[in-house]
Amino acid sequence: MTVTVRSFAKINLGLYIGLPRADGFHDLRTVYQTIALHDVIRVQVARGTGIEIECSDPRVPRDESNTCWRIAERVMRELGASGKVTIGIEKKLPVQGGLGAGSSNAVATMLALERALKKSLPGAARLRVASEVGSDLPLFLIGGTALGVGRGEEVYPVPDLPATPLVVVTPAVGVSTPRAFADWDRLTRSGASDRLLEVGRVLSAWLSGSPNTGASAGGRSRAGSLLSDLVRTGIENDFERVVFPQYPELRDMKCALERAGAGYASLSGSGSTLYGLFRTRAAAVKAAGRLRKQGLKAVATTTLTRQQYWKRFLVSGC
């Protein structure tokens, strides 16, 4: 039996980096938001042993360095299961794009593999295994809008932001996350820790006080109020300060998104992907068309609430 699932991407609505920790990771604060763009993952368990990755994209490793391979190996061990695991990755999301594609692929593999084996890990074990494989994995066990703290692996579901139209621009370059963190260290050196406390207040005020967490407020569209909240609160992605000087074309793409009408535009994660949020689907579609005419790889999509994320997750497999 083959289990097929959608492996959705995420964007970061703000990302604040703290000081490097003793384990080499950085403390951070971010709001993760899942979006409708996705890869497709197919998992099959047959007689035999071993793990095989099938993917036609040459940029995706097919050995044990692949996050899907690493999580499958752990899930088989945790469940005491045996068999030959084949993981098919239909790649549509960018590699090294800041959309969490590799992390999302791994979580999709874990859940599809459990289903194929007709066994499941307890929730706490899933979170532990996911965070062992990478900081960005646990968010995909929650979906929708989630606050990320610690090294990003400690995730808390927060009231979902409304489904919001957006345009995603994928540049040709990829950005290395470890290198972007190292560049951040060289840029800052001190003061980041105190700053995170302040940022925590900003993010929680935004998330708890926002009128977007409920129904429309005062006649404003819900997407509209989300945008003005983000702009008013001045929520930013720290990675822009190290990635834009290195890749000036990415700053130009953010400006192009703003010129095309985005109410809020930002780098996602450490990039290279940029996104812009729009008030309406029609405005996002029009902007994506305009950006494509300028030679950019742009696509209109939407953010996914937690309910939409889980409703669309399973494609097939009993």
Pick from 2, 120, 177, 221 the residue near ligand C5P by CB under 6 A: 177
Whose tokens are 């097919």? That residue is 62
Q: How far is the CB of 226 from ligand C5P (least distance, A)?
A: 25
Using rule CB under 6 A, residue 106 touches ligand C5P: no
Q: Select the span of 1-9, 133-141, 190-198, 224-232 touching ligand C5P (CB under 6 A).
A: 133-141
Q: Give the nearest distance from C-beta 17 to ligand C5P in angstroms.
A: 8
Q: Which is nearer to ligand C5P, 13 or 262 (CB)?
A: 13
Q: What are the structure tokens assigned to 23, written together?
A: 């384990």
In the complex with ligand C5P, the residue whose CB is nearer, 136 or 240, is 136
Smallest distance, ligand C5P to C-beta of residue 184, A: 9
Count the neighbouring beta carbons within 10 Å of the beta carbon of residue 154.
Answer: 15
Residue 282 class from Cβ within 10 Å (0-12 exposed, 13-18 middle, 19+ buried)? exposed
Q: Is 173 exposed, middle or buried (0-12, 13-18, 19+ CB in 10 A)?
A: middle
Nearer to ligand C5P, 16 or 278 (CB): 16
* Cα 23 to Cα 56: distance, rounded to the nearest angstrom: 35
- Measured distance CA(301)–CA(22) in Å, rounded: 39
By CB under 6 A, is residue 148 in contact with ligand C5P?
no
What is the number of other CB atoms lying within 10 angstroms of the CB of residue 152?
Answer: 26
Instruction: Note whether 10 binds ligand C5P by CB under 6 A.
Output: no
- When binding is defined by CB under 6 A, the residue of 6, 26, 42, 126 that contacts ligand C5P is 26
x-marked contacts with ligand C5P along 29-58 as a string, rule CB under 6 A: ------------------------------
**Is 136 a known active-site residue?**
yes
Should residue 115 be labelled a site residue for ligand C5P when binding is judged by CB under 6 A?
Answer: no
- Which candidate in 23, 27, 84, 136 is catalytic? 136
What positions carry a catalytic annotation?
A: 10, 136
Chain residues that interact with ligand C5P, rule: CB under 6 A: 25-26, 28, 134-136, 151-152, 177-178, 181
